[in-house]
Amino acid sequence: MSRGLSESRLELPRDASGFVRRECAHCNRAFKTRPSRHDASVLQRRLASLFPFENAHESFDEVPDGSCLYCGHRAPVDEWLTLQQQVHMEALARAWANHVRYQQLAYVSRTLSLNPRPTFVTVEPEALPGPMPPEPDDMRVIPLLCCGEEVKALWDWEGSFFCPRCGTRHAGTSGRQQFHLEFVEE
Protein backbone atom coordinates (compact mmCIF):
# COMPACT_ATOMS: atom_id res chain seq x y z
CA MET A 1 0.00 0.00 0.00
CA SER A 2 1.31 3.46 -0.84
CA ARG A 3 2.32 6.00 1.77
CA GLY A 4 -0.12 8.86 2.20
CA LEU A 5 0.72 12.45 1.43
CA SER A 6 0.88 13.36 5.09
CA GLU A 7 3.30 10.53 5.89
CA SER A 8 6.09 11.61 3.55
CA ARG A 9 9.01 13.61 4.92
CA LEU A 10 10.98 16.00 2.77
CA GLU A 11 14.34 17.46 3.61
CA LEU A 12 17.70 17.93 1.96
CA PRO A 13 20.07 15.05 2.73
CA ARG A 14 23.02 15.64 5.04
CA ASP A 15 26.44 14.09 5.28
CA ALA A 16 27.81 12.49 8.46
CA SER A 17 28.90 15.93 9.74
CA GLY A 18 25.46 17.46 9.12
CA PHE A 19 26.32 19.48 5.99
CA VAL A 20 23.98 19.90 2.99
CA ARG A 21 25.28 19.92 -0.60
CA ARG A 22 24.67 23.05 -2.70
CA GLU A 23 25.61 23.71 -6.32
CA CYS A 24 26.29 26.97 -8.14
CA ALA A 25 24.39 27.36 -11.39
CA HIS A 26 27.05 29.81 -12.59
CA CYS A 27 30.27 27.78 -12.13
CA ASN A 28 28.67 24.31 -11.56
CA ARG A 29 30.82 23.60 -8.51
CA ALA A 30 29.46 21.87 -5.42
CA PHE A 31 30.01 22.99 -1.85
CA LYS A 32 28.32 22.25 1.45
CA THR A 33 26.82 24.42 4.17
CA ARG A 34 25.02 23.73 7.38
CA PRO A 35 21.26 23.34 6.97
CA SER A 36 19.51 26.68 6.75
CA ARG A 37 16.23 27.78 8.30
CA HIS A 38 15.29 28.70 4.73
CA ASP A 39 15.66 25.14 3.37
CA ALA A 40 11.98 24.36 4.03
CA SER A 41 10.92 27.46 2.09
CA VAL A 42 13.28 26.52 -0.74
CA LEU A 43 11.74 23.05 -1.01
CA GLN A 44 8.21 24.46 -0.74
CA ARG A 45 8.88 27.00 -3.50
CA ARG A 46 10.39 24.32 -5.74
CA LEU A 47 7.46 21.94 -5.21
CA ALA A 48 4.94 24.74 -5.74
CA SER A 49 6.54 25.60 -9.07
CA LEU A 50 6.20 21.95 -10.18
CA PHE A 51 2.89 21.02 -8.55
CA PRO A 52 -0.02 21.75 -10.92
CA PHE A 53 -2.69 21.97 -8.19
CA GLU A 54 -1.01 24.69 -6.16
CA ASN A 55 -1.56 28.43 -6.40
CA ALA A 56 2.13 29.29 -6.46
CA HIS A 57 1.64 32.93 -5.49
CA GLU A 58 0.07 31.82 -2.20
CA SER A 59 2.88 29.56 -1.04
CA PHE A 60 6.06 31.53 -1.52
CA ASP A 61 7.90 32.77 1.53
CA GLU A 62 10.74 35.13 0.80
CA VAL A 63 14.21 33.60 0.77
CA PRO A 64 17.49 35.52 1.00
CA ASP A 65 20.29 35.58 -1.53
CA GLY A 66 23.38 33.47 -1.06
CA SER A 67 26.83 33.45 -2.65
CA CYS A 68 28.78 30.70 -4.32
CA LEU A 69 31.72 29.60 -2.19
CA TYR A 70 34.02 29.64 -5.24
CA CYS A 71 32.97 32.30 -7.75
CA GLY A 72 30.92 34.61 -5.50
CA HIS A 73 27.85 34.47 -7.77
CA ARG A 74 24.82 35.77 -5.81
CA ALA A 75 21.38 34.26 -6.28
CA PRO A 76 18.32 33.39 -4.19
CA VAL A 77 19.06 30.34 -2.04
CA ASP A 78 16.41 28.32 -3.87
CA GLU A 79 18.71 28.29 -6.91
CA TRP A 80 21.42 26.31 -5.09
CA LEU A 81 19.80 22.87 -5.43
CA THR A 82 21.98 20.20 -7.06
CA LEU A 83 20.82 18.37 -10.17
CA GLN A 84 20.10 15.25 -8.07
CA GLN A 85 18.00 17.32 -5.65
CA GLN A 86 16.08 18.94 -8.54
CA VAL A 87 15.36 15.57 -10.17
CA HIS A 88 14.11 14.18 -6.85
CA MET A 89 11.86 17.22 -6.32
CA GLU A 90 10.39 16.83 -9.82
CA ALA A 91 9.69 13.12 -9.22
CA LEU A 92 8.11 13.94 -5.87
CA ALA A 93 5.93 16.67 -7.39
CA ARG A 94 4.74 14.28 -10.12
CA ALA A 95 3.98 11.59 -7.55
CA TRP A 96 2.06 14.00 -5.31
CA ALA A 97 0.11 15.26 -8.31
CA ASN A 98 -0.83 11.65 -9.14
CA HIS A 99 -1.95 11.05 -5.55
CA VAL A 100 -4.06 14.22 -5.51
CA ARG A 101 -5.58 13.32 -8.89
CA TYR A 102 -6.35 9.81 -7.62
CA GLN A 103 -8.08 11.17 -4.52
CA GLN A 104 -10.14 13.55 -6.64
CA LEU A 105 -11.22 10.79 -9.01
CA ALA A 106 -11.76 8.26 -6.21
CA TYR A 107 -14.31 10.65 -4.71
CA VAL A 108 -16.74 9.40 -7.34
CA SER A 109 -16.33 5.82 -6.09
CA ARG A 110 -16.82 6.92 -2.50
CA THR A 111 -20.06 8.74 -3.44
CA LEU A 112 -21.31 6.10 -5.86
CA SER A 113 -24.84 6.26 -4.47
CA LEU A 114 -25.06 9.78 -5.91
CA ASN A 115 -23.85 8.65 -9.34
CA PRO A 116 -24.36 4.89 -9.91
CA ARG A 117 -22.80 4.90 -13.42
CA PRO A 118 -19.24 6.26 -13.33
CA THR A 119 -17.54 6.52 -16.71
CA PHE A 120 -14.02 5.72 -15.52
CA VAL A 121 -12.08 3.47 -13.17
CA THR A 122 -9.50 4.91 -10.79
CA VAL A 123 -6.08 3.27 -10.58
CA GLU A 124 -4.10 3.77 -7.38
CA PRO A 125 -0.82 5.59 -8.08
CA GLU A 126 2.64 4.29 -7.27
CA ALA A 127 4.12 4.98 -3.87
CA LEU A 128 5.75 8.34 -3.25
CA PRO A 129 9.51 8.38 -3.74
CA GLY A 130 11.51 7.74 -0.60
CA PRO A 131 13.99 10.20 0.81
CA MET A 132 17.13 11.16 -1.07
CA PRO A 133 20.19 9.10 -0.13
CA PRO A 134 22.49 10.62 2.51
CA GLU A 135 25.33 12.80 1.32
CA PRO A 136 28.84 11.31 1.19
CA ASP A 137 31.39 12.96 3.48
CA ASP A 138 33.59 14.01 0.57
CA MET A 139 34.77 17.58 1.20
CA ARG A 140 37.02 19.46 3.61
CA VAL A 141 35.79 21.86 6.30
CA ILE A 142 36.70 25.53 5.95
CA PRO A 143 35.97 27.97 8.81
CA LEU A 144 34.73 31.39 7.68
CA LEU A 145 35.33 34.02 10.34
CA CYS A 146 32.99 36.68 8.90
CA CYS A 147 29.77 34.90 9.96
CA GLY A 148 31.25 32.29 12.28
CA GLU A 149 30.17 29.56 9.85
CA GLU A 150 31.84 26.43 8.61
CA VAL A 151 31.46 25.30 5.01
CA LYS A 152 32.83 22.37 3.07
CA ALA A 153 34.82 22.87 -0.10
CA LEU A 154 36.30 20.64 -2.77
CA TRP A 155 39.61 19.15 -1.69
CA ASP A 156 41.50 20.50 -4.69
CA TRP A 157 40.21 24.12 -4.57
CA GLU A 158 43.15 26.51 -4.05
CA GLY A 159 41.49 29.88 -4.87
CA SER A 160 39.64 32.50 -2.85
CA PHE A 161 36.48 31.68 -0.93
CA PHE A 162 33.27 33.67 -0.61
CA CYS A 163 31.03 33.31 2.40
CA PRO A 164 27.74 31.76 1.19
CA ARG A 165 25.80 33.82 3.75
CA CYS A 166 27.23 37.35 3.49
CA GLY A 167 29.37 37.15 0.34
CA THR A 168 32.62 38.28 2.03
CA ARG A 169 35.69 37.28 0.04
CA HIS A 170 38.35 35.38 1.94
CA ALA A 171 41.93 35.43 0.64
CA GLY A 172 43.09 32.47 -1.38
CA THR A 173 44.36 29.74 0.82
CA SER A 174 44.62 26.07 0.33
CA GLY A 175 43.09 25.49 3.73
CA ARG A 176 45.63 22.72 4.17
CA GLN A 177 47.87 23.93 6.92
CA GLN A 178 50.76 21.73 7.79
CA PHE A 179 51.97 21.37 11.33
CA HIS A 180 55.46 20.14 12.08
CA LEU A 181 55.97 18.47 15.40
CA GLU A 182 59.43 18.01 16.77
CA PHE A 183 60.20 15.64 19.56
CA VAL A 184 62.99 16.71 21.79
CA GLU A 185 64.77 14.05 23.75
CA GLU A 186 65.83 15.01 27.22
26 phi and psi, to 5 degrees?
Answer: -85, -50
Alpha helix (H) residue ranges in the chain: 39-50, 56-59, 83-110
Tens of pLDDT, residue by residue over 70-93, are 999 999 988 999 999 999 988 888
Tens of pLDDT, residue by residue over 138-150, are 999 999 888 898 9
3-state secondary structure of 5: helix
- Please choose, from the candidates 170, 121, 164, the residue with its C-alpha nearest in 3D space to the C-alpha of residue 145: 170
pTM: 0.75
The residue type of 160 is S
pLDDT value for 180: 39
* Domain map (residue ranges) of the chain: 5-170
pLDDT value for 3: 43
**For residue 2, is pLDDT > 80?**
no
20-24, 86-90, 112-116: range with lowest mean pLDDT: 112-116
